Structure 1
Amino acid sequence: MPTNTAAWLPEARADLVVGPATMPEPGPEEMLVRVRAIAVNPLDDVKQWTGDLMYRWLPYPAILGEDVAGEVVGVGSGVSRFAPGDRVVGYAVGMERGRRHLAEGGFQEYVVLRADLAAPIPDRLSFEEVVVLPLAVSTAATALFQSDHLALPHPDPSPSTARARADRGTVVVWGGSTSVGSNAIQLAAASGHRVATTASPHNHERMRALGADVVADYRDPAVVSQLTAALRGDRVVGVLAVGTGSARPSVALAAATGAARVALASPAVSFGDLPRRGGPSLRAMSTMMRLGLSTSLTQLSARRHRIDARFVWGSSLMTNEVGRMLWEDHLPAALADGRHVCAPEAEVVGDGLESVQTALDRLRAGVSARKLVVRL
């Protein structure tokens, strides 16, 4: 019988430790997957670095990780889309409230995935290429399609949807070169909308290749006025704010263009300055005060302009129709025929679970327009 191994977070703010783990068993509508590639996300870094600032319900020792790709080795009752031997990419939700935290954590050799949060991998794509998708594409879909966020119509590959781009209006994705932004551009275009986005100049052509019609430099002090001018005459149906500091300019742009909804996918300030230790500190107090002030100012501005600005929790799609639309209806076909590109590009930083901590350290140091991947 095979044995399981995990990269454990033994306690708050500790480095990951590789060690034995119980072999998980899939329940109804679940499957057991032999993991072949893992990607790291800012959520993993924040949880490791700040302790219980986020995911307070997650007990220690913990298994973090959301992005996995691998081979199905077993399925639970009710699973009909997958069978042992299938290559799949999926969203591991072990960090979420009410889930089996150890069985469903991504940083291990064998993981339980919900069958409705997974998609088959086309033969032409590697595990390393597709593993960049799960959390990012789920967060993008939640922001764009859930009724409490931008509430866009679902993607439709028919020719009539492509012709409807001008009629359905424009979606702005602030932070297009991010993992969430790169997927949001593609999903918004697939739902029949024109897309405007922001990115550094060296990423502009990549944004256009993903489906953006208008691209601006987010670092330009006049970027809001530039986008407002570029979108004059467009019906802007919503703005997705991705990246630290994106909320306030996104609300300002919504006010200037008449958009009534802003989906906030990132905190107002970076948690990178927080010390990696518990207890009070001046840096922690300063960060939290800036977070509270910036969030309050953003909400006040949104209310003044009658804009509905809400924070996005990417896993909420597993409780509604958006999850099924994305993982069962749209993504399998879109990956198979190349309509959805695996973006941003994967960078493999190492092999084996021992390399997950290396990837997290690299992520904390700063990564642009790439996704850090570990191969198992």
Structure 2
Amino acid sequence: MSTNSAAWLPEARSDVVVGPAEMPVPGPGELLVRTRAVAVNPLDDVKQWTGNLMYRWLPYPAVLGEDVAGEVAAVGPDVTRFAPGDRVVAYAVGMERGTRHRAEGGFQSFVVVREGLTAPLPDTLAFHDAVVLPLAVSTAATALFQRDHLALPHPTPAPVGGRGTVVVWGGSTSVGSNAIQLAVASGHRVVTTASPRNHERMRDLGADLVVDYRDSTAVDRLSEALRGDEVVGVLAVGTGSGAAAVALAAATGARRVALASPAVSFASLPRRGGPSVTAALTMTRLGASTALTQLTARRHGISARFVWGSALMTNEVGRMLWHDHLPRALADGTHRPAPEAEVVGEGLESIQTALDRLRAGVSAKKLVVVL
């Protein structure tokens, strides 16, 4: 077997550096995957840029990365669904609490992933296309199906319609694009928001109605369009989307809102340690905006909870998604990798380039590095 290497985050707020890494050994219920493609996520950027604002438990040097696709190199004890040579896509959870942080971090040539967070890939689906899925589809599934969020019925091979309407605020995002497809697969009508250039793509993914989120009358327009519908929940994706989602829920009678994004952006935070006026103002705005959204929700009898995508590791949603739904839906084409992958480079050395591009701003794309 080849030697391993990783894109290491040596310390808080540093660039990643490619260097040797120990070859991980899969344990019970685990696979060792030879990575062929990875994608970068806002969580990677936030951890790199803000130091210990998030993932305080992650030791340095750290291996970030959640989205991986590749070939199974070895399997651990008790693994029954996969064998060496299988093509797979997987959610790498090394950044999460209570995991083997370095062995399970995605930005390396060989990574340990969990059988329960892995799906087989059909031969027709390229690694670089499939790798846009893991964190986004897991977060979307957690928001839609977990009992303390929207608690929708699980998808079935032949969806039963007439189960009400789900609103996805921010449909062109990675999470939103997957949420639209999952909600349709569970038998719901989906209404979403996106910029006009993405409206047709939203309809292709299954949305019945699309409204421009930048329109100052978006909440009113959606409320009018949803008059008479049973709105079973609202998923808010995108910075600052929570307030609009709660307002829409109040106007339509929905009682559940899943919040997948913070109230303010962390992009303005300085890339250095210690106190700063900008950091203080950002955190103050975050606290005030979050508190106001929660206060409004409570006043209208709405449950508005923040989503943590990895929560499905320990409940029935993970098995439903990764064991039951995704393998079937990827094979028959009813769940499409979205948003579209944009390959920004080759090799672990390109991961920092991808992170820099992500920080500069990306719309309706997922940045991918092939290995």
**TM-score class normalised by the smaller sequence:** over 0.9
Equivalent AA in structure 2 for residue 251 of structure 1: V
* 1:71-82 paired onto structure 2 within 5 Å: 71-82=71-82
Give yes or no for the alignment of 1:303 onto 2:298.
yes
Give yes or no for the alignment of 1:366 onto 2:361.
yes
* Distance in 2 of aligned mates of 1:59 and 1:37: 24
Equivalent AA in structure 1 for residue 61 of structure 2: P
* Distance in 1 of aligned mates of 2:51 and 2:125: 36
Equivalent AA in structure 2 for residue 193 of structure 1: H
Q: 2:286 aligns with which of 274, 278, 291?
A: 291
- How many residue pairs get aligned? The number is 371
C-alpha deviations, 1:274-321, integer Å up to 9, x for none? Answer: 000000000000000000000000000000000000000000001000
Give yes or no for the alignment of 1:186 onto 2:181.
yes
**Could you say which residue in structure 2 is the equivalent of 1:338?**
333
Q: Which runs of 5+ in 2 are unaligned?
A: none
* Distance in 2 of aligned mates of 1:319 and 1:240: 21
Deviation at 1:137, TM superposition (A): 0.1
* Distance in 2 of aligned mates of 1:150 and 1:172: 11
* Distance in 2 of aligned mates of 1:188 and 1:53: 32
Q: Which runs of 5+ in 1 are unaligned?
A: none
* Distance in 1 of aligned mates of 2:298 and 2:224: 23
Q: Secondary structure at the match of 2:62?
A: coil
Q: 2:260 aligns with which of 265, 274, 279?
A: 265
C-alpha deviations, 1:240-273, integer Å up to 9, x for none? Answer: 0000010000000000000000000000000000
Give yes or no for the alignment of 1:94 onto 2:89.
no
Deviation at 1:157, TM superposition (A): 1.7
Name segments (4+ residues, structure 1) moved above 3 Å: none
* 1:14-53 paired onto structure 2 within 5 Å: 14-53=14-53
**Could you say which residue in structure 2 is the equivalent of 1:213?**
208
Q: 2:313 aligns with which of 311, 318, 335?
A: 318
Q: Secondary structure at the match of 1:188?
A: helix
C-alpha deviations, 1:22-72, integer Å up to 9, x for none? Answer: 000000000100000000000000000000000000010000000000000
Among all aligned residue pairs of Structure 1 and Structure 2, give the percentage whose two residues are the same amino acid.
78
Give yes or no for the alignment of 1:103 onto 2:126.
no
Equivalent AA in structure 1 for residue 211 of structure 2: A
**Could you say which residue in structure 1 is the equivalent of 2:220?**
225
Equivalent AA in structure 1 for residue 47 of structure 2: K
Equivalent AA in structure 1 for residue 88 of structure 2: V
**Could you say which residue in structure 1 is the equivalent of 2:352?**
357
C-alpha deviations, 1:95-122, integer Å up to 9, x for none? Answer: 0000000000000000000011000011
* Distance in 1 of aligned mates of 2:344 and 2:117: 26
**Could you say which residue in structure 1 is the equivalent of 2:147?**
147
Equivalent AA in structure 2 for residue 329 of structure 1: D
Equivalent AA in structure 1 for residue 281 of structure 2: S
Deviation at 1:2, TM superposition (A): 1.5
Equivalent AA in structure 2 for residue 76 of structure 1: G
Deviation at 1:332, TM superposition (A): 0.3
* Distance in 2 of aligned mates of 1:240 and 1:227: 14
Question: RMSD between aligned alpha carbons?
Answer: 0.5
Equivalent AA in structure 2 for residue 80 of structure 1: T
Equivalent AA in structure 1 for residue 305 of structure 2: R
Equivalent AA in structure 2 for residue 220 of structure 1: D
Deviation at 1:339, TM superposition (A): 0.2
Equivalent AA in structure 2 for residue 280 of structure 1: P
Q: Secondary structure at the match of 1:340?
A: coil
Equivalent AA in structure 1 for residue 91 of structure 2: Y
Q: 2:165 aligns with which of 158, 170, 186?
A: 170
Give yes or no for the alignment of 1:249 onto 2:244.
yes
**Could you say which residue in structure 2 is the equivalent of 1:68?**
68
Equivalent AA in structure 1 for residue 37 of structure 2: A
* Distance in 2 of aligned mates of 1:101 and 1:217: 40
Equivalent AA in structure 2 for residue 33 of structure 1: V
* Distance in 2 of aligned mates of 1:121 and 1:250: 35
**Could you say which residue in structure 2 is the equivalent of 1:116?**
116
The alignment's TM-score, normalised by the length of structure 1, stands at 0.98
Q: Secondary structure at the match of 2:317?
A: helix
Q: Secondary structure at the match of 1:111?
A: strand
